[in-house]
Chain A
């Protein structure tokens, strides 16, 4: 393509649209990092820590160990989330100049960090002060439900018009696992169903991560890739 611009507004708009297509590719890759981090984080929190620490002789040590691993895993996940969501916000801000779309600033560290701190304060209080270990599971699942809403909003803001297939898979699996676990807990508390749903989610998020990171670069003037 000839590099010098002629000054035509249409030409500039086409350049901007090409930038947005390339940005979609970059955001898919950023989300790929997020899927991978959450896959590992969910595995450690739901399976890794409980299995590892159930082998310790002390029940108290087991609980503290599991709580610490969960907190570390979610800190890593939060860090990656803040990094990815910043990119989403910066993209939305530039895109909204061109498209006049309106969007809400809830994907900001000023919102997400206080929520994370509050959730862990409640968990700490529930588990170590009030001794409500069993009830923290329903609290955790409720937090996951709220988190799903944030993810859904962030994904739609990242990919307006058409969500990538790996994003749909990740969101669906997480939503089904959360809803299924809440229903399972409230009805019969069957651990096998809970384990199966979350094992599937961990795998799906891992596969989504690999798929997202391997998407090809869009061709100049090309359509949005699936």
Chain B
């Protein structure tokens, strides 16, 4: 490892020398974009002919391509990895405009975590993986000598060209995106690779930047106090859409999936090398939700709903909002060739040789090149994966990959946003009162980026399918899993024979759900490998299990976006959508809702804390500088991020203890950490005069009560009640719900008058009362359930823990 690191530094030093020599004539006063070549061609890298040829391959001998996860990949898999790590498919527009303007006063402030001056603490503060190929302007070897050249950002490969285009009106069309050179190995004529839109790294892996053609240098200098590098003025009025920053930022899949390789942790968490990173392991430390909320006001309902999520979790149905508060983890993509598959009928698009002339394009379409055609039909599929927490995205591997691109903003404007709920629309007849289904055929037809992705999705799929495991024995430097046993039983004090005994406990207690083999449980070798050294058991059945049987926090299981008529209808199998209602849950559970799939426990030693919301085990956190510590009842402290092998093992052991001893759990509930203030009339000055009113939800209420509240039904019932009263009609007994809704508000208004202020206060008690009628999920305890194993004696629990560390 040291040798590799030394080699990498030597490479950088050579680059730097080349740069210094080559830049003798550079002006001494730097402007943005003025710099010299960095890590680009110049004979420093030898193209690897096995990967590809031409411009695109100039970096193929670089550490990025020599990282452990890249070794031995086929050409198509190498390209698939590039897509995974770099392709944004145009979601920079989504992050720059859609997210901020459609949500209203809620911009995502990328600058807050990508500013160059944060590089030395970016992991600690945000859980972000610094890009090893970027550097800090002014540091030895970095081609950029000052932040004024980079607008305050890290300097990254390709910036020499990209920076020239900042503020150029034709940047969107004339700047040659690095993706343009990506070859199509089989030579098929397909949608241009330019539409994959790589841009250049924004300093952190998976985060990309693009030159903003609408950047106005004069305006910028005016608000920034005559400084190219300062974004202070911009941050102060980030919601003013007339002021645009130098860059638009995009996110590739890796932004949420990259983290430290558990078997190769870095010496310095803020200076990782490519060998320390895995782009498939899952960003388990990332403050994803907080990044999305980074430009929000803390007192907004959107901030409190979104940002109060644990590191490594995000509510992926926050933007395609289903009014269920359900942040979940980013799972590791690991050993997928052994992941269980299912036979399910799926109504979706499938590749066909051609479409007949004049065929209905609602069911058969080809790309403009005519090289790829797709037909939509209902058919039984033999190899369906259950991808999301409840087994959703059950339409095939390629479909699942493509849907995630849409959910992070690719083709959002062309295909997605018109199908989402407008939370302010209260007329059931009005457009966007609720969701309508995203149409894959329409998106293929109207969005070039979708076609660019779809034409190449097999390459990305193949890269993901080959991703391996992160076994503890490898992390500890042993040659086999057997060699790990003395370490577990001896050094970690589990005692002789613990692992073997633990295997039996696992077979009896866990393997029913957490194994993918089919033979007798007793005889199963959970660590077996095939001839190529790949693990045979995925250690999860992926079967959909009723959430009341698992007993864990229910809200994620009540996610509704994959139901018929909802936005992701075309990404749910017919079987899933026809699942019977699950009763006894804390919200509506029809149409496929109400389940959790039995997940994989491969390398579970590396992924604590547990459960889909990271709630079972100690709370973990980064530094406090950004103020994103969660306020959680039953958890007064948090364990600071420690990605070392010992750190992960320690967290695993503590989490296992809590898992197997439910009495030790804290009954965790995440609470809002600020008053939520929702103005419903003109804001008044100094609280004096005028009739403006603010709804206030006091700090300290349970987040899920706010996030799962169906406010439209609530408003509709109040409206209906008022209508009845105005019509002199009698409110029927069966409509007591409407009456209750009205009375709650009437009382709150009465209290407001008594307090002689203009605040309607909805406290926890009122929210609880309303939740009984208007919540999609009334569950509040986040670390409950999954009590399997609690009945074991202490010895068996220790044995089970010892064995599971080897998985």
Do A and B pair up? The answer is no
- A contacts, CB < 8 Å to B: none
Interfacial residues, chain B to chain A (CB-CB below 8 A): none
